Structure formats: structure tokens, C-alpha cells
Structure 1
Amino acid sequence: MGILSWIILGLIAGALAKWIMPGPDPGGWIVTMVIGIVGAFIGGWLGSLVGIGGPVTGFAIGDIITAVIGAVVLLFIYRMVKSRS
């Protein structure tokens, strides 16, 4: 259930990241959702290293926060890379 939970959480994190960072995205909503899923994995991994998150057993607030932070950071990096090309 862990990987499926992170995918669902990533979709939610992608939507929240888009809400936090509004504006035109080069790839639209689909790319933003994929970025949310990847950001959730990265945020969860980094969160588990520092002890504020980990593999999802439910939708705890710490898991949501780390996933959203990961998605926002990844969305910011994606926008920076796409704007330069």
C-alpha cells in the first residue's frame, strides 16, 4: 500500500503545489501532477532522512507537508529549467 499511497498523495501534492505557485506551466496540469508524484517521493525520502516523514501508512499531516514541499521545490526547478530553454 505504500507506493500507491505516495502516488495518491503525489496527485494531491501536485494540485496543492499548483495552487501555491499559480501561473503558466510549460506542461499544464498533467505535468504538474507528475511533478507532484515525483515531488512526493523526493519529499518523503528526504523527510524520512530527517525524521519528519516516511512511508505512508495513512495520510498524516507530516506526510502531506513533506510531499507538498517536495512538489513545490520540484515545480520551481522545472519552471526555472523550462524558462531558460
Structure 2
Amino acid sequence: MNDHSLIIKQVIGKTIKATRIKQGLSQEDLAGLCQVDRSYISLVEVGKNEPSVSKIFELCQGLKISPSAFFKIVEAEYEKLKQNHND
């Protein structure tokens, strides 16, 4: 796996975690809303598991955020990290 893929996995995980916390949800709460195990949410949030596009849509539904808004956040965070890396 290249650095690009690793960074994206980490940004997706951090974005899910930040959104979940902002909404006052536990990992258990989000897991229940998305019908997945809590450990799956944990692995995604720390960047060890990369959710499929369909799973991202389910996570967004559980987080009450549109997939387009979610990906805009991910893209902005990715660009920040890329910019910081190039400086």
C-alpha cells in the first residue's frame, strides 16, 4: 500500500470519528445504527480498515451526513495533509 492510500484511510477514519464524537455517539451507538460490530468502527477510525463505498454510505446515514458532505470533508483534510507534507 502506498502513502497516498494510507493517508486516505486515516483521513476517512479521523473524519468518521470526529463526526461521531461531534454528534455525541459512541462507537457502539454508530455500530448499532449501521448494523456492524463496534470493533469494525474502531478499526475504521484508526485507519486499519478501509470501508467500501457502500459501507461509507451506510456510515454516513448513521452519522446523519450526506455522502457528498462527508467526501468534501475528507478531500479538504487530505489536501491539508498533502500541502503540509509538501511544505
Q: TM-score scaled by structure 1?
A: 0.37
Q: TM-score scaled by structure 2?
A: 0.37
